[in-house]
């Protein structure tokens, strides 16, 4: 299972790439960190189209910044305009238009499979910036890159994932990415937000080592990485149930008191109240660092896919 | 009637330009096709203002892409922001602001004459990207360019225009543009959507050869170009009347079976259901090609108006 | 009180800077006027983030144009997206994200103190594009620059400020800026819109010479500059009171008939009906000139803060 290479490829799920591909990406991202606050003119003249049918300011701005820092330009739509777009025209025709105008397309869509569908239509590379509830591959690549940067390795780590393991789109992509590595997974969630059966079956098929608990205090002392995702009130059929459990899953000073000294906390952001602000000031908090690495990681991705020379 | 030149001119209606001007534009567009997926630095340092008081993602993005590919930059507003803009400030003051900031202004507005009004105020060139229900000159230029590219000529062709001939803004501009050429026009529409009297008078005054029918099957075997525009339900006083006729005006495999082998189908896009998806796979379908030519055509237009050197 | 310099500094209020700083800015702006319609590549590779939590097309576009003319790039959000942003995430986390991506942040926010709060969080310079009801420093800098350009000096002038002196954000910043100069202030407003006590105390503490009247006709013959701001209907508890006074504060030909020949009228724009259109054609009207100076003034500001070399 060697590198399949990145040039001209679509980025639809993490599983389209090999461990070797990911490591090529990480090495390039490390190189790109030197340029994340300056400019490389390697994509001069290229145009990236952003088709955000679903809002995501953070992901959108990190792609935009990455493209601009590489010397390229950005066109696209998001928000309200995207909504009316989505109503007025079939997705295939919209993608054909962007394909005709731009050199690559970044798509975010609420419907599962929208990115794959777009990739089948477009001749240019399509990058999935989140579709449906299962895939957000560039976020998972960023998550792994952050871990790799912090520990110098991913193999051998114990990784806790805390929060909504059922509906949070990043969890599925993250676990797919981690399946390339020898890690020990602690899955932590309220009972109603346990991982779906498909994800369990995936982990089994890959021989991944994992356990599940509804109590973060049971595993906090073992994890090297605590990856936190939001728990949304709407996911609970019974609002009282949500109120009952939410406190348990809030990461605060009391919880991390039990953690290893080198434990790092990650979060895809934005957060609402799942991490207490007091935690921000501890050396465990790496979610802002993680967010800032989104630019060099996506610079590396765009460079590899669009083939800029450095 | 020689070329009046393009440099520094406003682009308000097709009739502001001569046949020679159009052919200068087409020749330049053909040249620009080489750069439509790369970059020319001939408008480096120029800023184009987009004032889209009415949404049009496709037209907006093709102007943006064209300007960026020429090395220039884009500022502006559209959608909801434009609406609140339109409420909070008189159009003249808004145009004065854009005129002070940018090197040229592209305007789209629901009110007839808004582009001409803007051109009277602004010192910089103003380009009409559609105003009211009668003018969309750059779309008509693109339409003719696509025909010219396909047939090597426009003179001598038989051109069918199918759909809403009364309210569709592109129809008026297209017929103005075709008035410079010796073509045979077949106008095809439901009775309530026949061309307005002003358009009939225009065709007569220019000595254009045309006929009208409500049945596309009567003329499909004669046309070299079938130009399709949408029929909007809202245009019919009686919704039942709309339901009764809509099927007749849908372009499908059955209709084009009767067409000449070299017949091409154009559409300004976006389409709703006026062209069956099955038609996309026939060699007659040129509407996606037409859309992709929007970038080189608008690159040529911006180069000619803004005076970039190549 | 010498120059504190501009490089790397936040721009939160006018009072953060000295008279010498302002004069450095004005001199640089005069220099930048040569490039306001071309391009300087001194900020090539820099990215400016615009965080407009409150809409302001004019201020947003002037910052964007200034950054683009300097060779830099722009990212950001405004309008509806900003609103949902503001709801979904705490301001601190949003600022941290922008700080990680960009080289400087321009913020506009409805809440007093938002810009200062952002500056405390961000390592990059933060520029206040208007927050709360008291501060809009770059507008005040532009106002003074326009006066300086017109008269060659600010000392010794008589300046009338007409309109809502209580709630208009620009009035407070303008008076702060004028406190560095020896001017005579005529404050003109309806009784309910007189300056707040804090502003009166500020003028007293700085030894400023001012008077107040509710009748513009009393002072029109003395002013060199008439600075007009809008009076909003919503500010009057009694709508009938608004209807009664609005005519008095409308600047029209009748009012300016009594003015000195060299008197100039300024307005931050957009205007609604506080200046009669007939005034636009008089030589007193300098508000469009003032608006157009927004680009070179902000080019100078960005150059000084971001440290571009020329």
Residue with tokens 């800029």: A308
Candidates A82, A91, A89, A79; CA nearest to A126 is A91
Domain count, chain C: 2
Residue B13 and residue B126 in one domain: yes
Whether B289 shows a pLDDT value over 50: the answer reads: yes
DSSP A236-291: -SSHHHHHHHHGGG-B-HHHHTTS-TT-EEE--S--SSSB-GGGGGSTTB-HHHHH
C123 touches chain A (CB under 8 A): no
How far B18 CA sits from the closest chain A CA (Å)? 29
Q: What is the CA radius of gyration of chain A?
A: 19
| Distance of residue A294 Cα from the nearest chain C Cα, in angstroms | 9
CB distance C88–A270 less than 8 Å? yes
Structure tokens at A127: 């990058």
Which of C68, C292, C294 minimises the CB distance to B47? C68
Give pLDDT tens digits along chain C (310 positions): 455 689 999 999 999 999 999 999 999 999 999 999 888 989 999 999 999 998 889 999 999 999 999 999 999 998 767 766 666 678 999 999 999 999 999 999 999 999 999 999 999 999 999 998 889 999 999 999 999 999 999 999 999 999 999 988 899 999 999 999 999 999 999 998 999 999 999 999 999 999 999 999 999 999 999 999 998 877 777 888 888 877 789 999 999 999 999 999 999 999 988 999 999 999 999 999 999 999 999 999 999 999 976 5
What Rg, from alpha-carbon coordinates, does chain B have?
19
How many Cβ pairs closer than 8 A exist between chain A and C? Answer: 54
Residues C269, B77: C-beta atoms closer than 8 Å = no
Which pLDDT value is given to residue B85? 67
- B38 pLDDT exceeds 80? yes
Predicted confidence (pLDDT) per residue in A178-217, tens digit: 999 999 999 999 998 999 999 999 999 999 999 999 999 9
Q: Is C38 at the interface with chain B, CB within 8 A? A: yes
Torsion, Cα B92 B96 B97 B103, to 10 degrees, reads 130
Size of interface B-C (CB pairs under 8 A): 56
- Give chains near B: 3+ CB pairs under 8 A: A, C
Predicted pLDDT at A272: 86
- Considering only CA atoms, which of B182, B176, B123, B209 is closest in space to residue B16? B176
- Do A88 and A191 have their domain in common? no
> Looking at the structure, do residues A115 and A141 belong to the same domain, yes or no?
no
d(CA C259, CA B19): 54
Closest CA to C32 of C308, C298, C307: C298
- The average pLDDT across B278-291 equals 98
Residues in B 66-95 with any Cβ partner in C closer than 8 A: 73, 75-77, 80-81, 84-85, 88-89, 93-94
What is the mean pLDDT of the segment spanning B96-105? 97
Structure tokens belonging to residue A75? 């066109």
Q: Which residues of B184-197 are buried (b: 16+ CB within 10 A; e: fewer)?
A: bbbbbbbebbbbee
Q: Identify the pLDDT of residue B3.
A: 55
Work out the mean pLDDT of chain B and round it to a whole number.
93
Residue of C nearest to B96 (CA): C288
Does A116 lie in the same domain as A37?
A: yes
User: How far does the CA of residue C39 sit from the closest CA of chain B (Å)?
Assistant: 4
User: Does residue A97 belong to the interface with chain B, where contact is any CB pair within 8 Å?
Assistant: yes
Q: Are residues A145 and A122 in the same domain?
A: no
Residues A111 and A153 grouped into a single domain: no
**Mutation for A interface: B39, B77, B295, most A CBs within 10 A:** B39
Closest by Cβ to C81, choosing from A37, A79, A295: A79
- Within 8 A of C98 by CB-CB distance, chain A residues are 61
Give the confidence band of B44 by pLDDT, cuts at 50, 70, 90.
very high
Q: Are residues C156 and C285 in the same domain?
A: yes
A97 and A42, same structural domain? Answer: yes
| Closest listed residue to residue B77, CA positions, set B92, B69, B68, B97 | B97
What per-residue confidence (pLDDT) applies to C39?
A: 86
**Coil/strand/helix, residue B186:** strand
- Is the minimum CB–CB distance between B34 and chain A shorter than 8 Å? no
Q: How many CB atoms lie within 10 A of CB A48?
A: 27
pLDDT at C86: 65
Which H, E and C letters describe chain C, residue by residue?
CCCCCCCCCCECCHHHCCHHHHHHHHHHHHHHHHHCCCCCCCCCCCEEEEEECCCCHHHHHHHHHHHHHCCCEEEEEEHHHHHHHHHHCCHHHHHHHHHHHCCEEEEEECCCCHHHHHHHHCCCCEEEEEECCCECHHHHHHHHHHHHHHHCCCCCCEEEEECCCCCCHHHHHHHHHHCCCCCEEEEECCHHHCCCHHHHHHHHHCCCEEEEECCHHHCCCCCCEEEECCCCHHHCCCHHHHHHHHHHHCECHHHHCCCCCCCEEECCCCCCCCECHHHHHCCCECHHHHHHCHHHHHHHHHHHHHCCCC
CATH code of the domain containing A280: 3.40.50.1370
Q: Give the SS3 label for residue B53.
A: coil
**Residue A202 contacts residue A176 (beta carbons within 8 Å):** yes
Q: What is the pLDDT of residue C55?
A: 85
C-beta separation of C188 from C210 below 8 A = no
CA distance C73 to chain B (A): 9
Residues of A in contact with B294 (CB under 8 A): 100-101
- Contact check, Cβ <8 Å, C270/B100: no
- Predicted pLDDT at C1: 44
Query: Which of A32, A33, A34, A39 is best to mutate for the C interface (most C CBs within 10 A)?
Result: A39
CB contact under 8 A, A61 and C80: no
Residue written as tokens 């108006």?
Answer: B305
Same domain, A144 and A21: no
Q: Which helix (H) or strand (E) holds B139?
A: helix B137-151
A208: helix, strand or coil: coil
Contact B124, B191 (CB under 8 A): no
Q: What's the token pair of residue C196?
A: 């707040």
Instruction: Report chain A residues whose CB lies below 8 A from the CB of C45.
Output: 38-39, 69
C272 with B84: Cβ contact below 8 A:
no
Residue C151 is part of which domain span? 137-291
Q: What pTM was computed for the model? A: 0.95
C80, A80 contact by CB (below 8 A): yes
Q: What is the pLDDT of residue C246?
A: 78
**From A50, which residue of chain B is nearest by alpha-carbon distance?**
B61
B66, closest residue in chain A (CA to CA): A101
Same domain, B149 and B200: yes
Residues (pLDDT < 70) of chain A are 1-4, 80, 83-88, 309-310
- pLDDT given at position A88: 65
Q: What is the DSSP string of B259-275?
A: S-TT-EEE--S--SSSB
Which of B44, B82, B100, B307 is the best mutation test for C, with the most CBs of C within 10 A?
A: B100
* Structure confidence at residue A242 (pLDDT): 81
Task: Verify that C156 and C229 share a domain, yes or no.
Answer: yes
Residues C283 and C152 in one domain: yes
Specify the pLDDT at position B1.
44
- CB contact (8 A) between residue A100 and residue B295: yes
């Amino acid at each position: 299972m060697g590198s399949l290479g990145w040039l001209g490829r679509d980025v639809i799920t993490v599983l389209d790439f090999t461990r070797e591909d990911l490591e090529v990406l990480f090495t390039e991202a490390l190189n790109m960190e030197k340029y994340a606050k300056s400019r490389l003119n390697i994509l001069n003249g290229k145009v990236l189209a952003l088709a955000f049918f679903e809002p995501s300011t953070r992901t959108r701005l990190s792609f935009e910044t990455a493209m601009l820092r590489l010397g390229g330009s950005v066109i696209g739509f998001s928000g309200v305009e995207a909504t009316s777009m989505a109503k007025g025209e079939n997705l295939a025709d919209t993608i054909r238009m962007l394909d005709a105008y731009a050199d690559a397309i970044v798509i975010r869509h609420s419907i599962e499979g929208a990115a794959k569908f777009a990739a089948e239509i477009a001749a240019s590379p399509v990058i999935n910036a989140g579709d449906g509830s299962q895939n957000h591959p560039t976020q998972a690549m960023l998550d792994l890159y952050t871990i790799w940067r912090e520990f110098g390795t991913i193999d051998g780590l114990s990784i806790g994932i805390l929060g909504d393991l059922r509906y949070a789109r990043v969890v599925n992509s993250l676990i797919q990415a981690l399946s390339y590595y020898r890690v020990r997974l602690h899955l932590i969630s309220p009972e109603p937000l346990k991982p779906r059966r498909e994800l369990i079956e995936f982990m089994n098929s890959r021989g991944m080592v994992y356990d599940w608990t509804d109590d973060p205090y049971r595993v906090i002392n073992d994890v090297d990485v605590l990856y936190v995702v939001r728990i949304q009130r709407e996911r609970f059929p019974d609002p009282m149930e949500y109120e009952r459990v939410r406190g348990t899953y809030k990461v605060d000073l009391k919880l991390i008191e039990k953690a290893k000294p080198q434990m790092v906390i990650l979060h895809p952001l934005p957060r609402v109240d799942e991490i207490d602000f007091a935690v921000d000031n501890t050396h465990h908090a790496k979610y802002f660092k993680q967010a800032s690495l989104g630019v060099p990681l996506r610079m590396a991705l765009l460079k590899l896919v669009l083939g800029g020379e450095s």
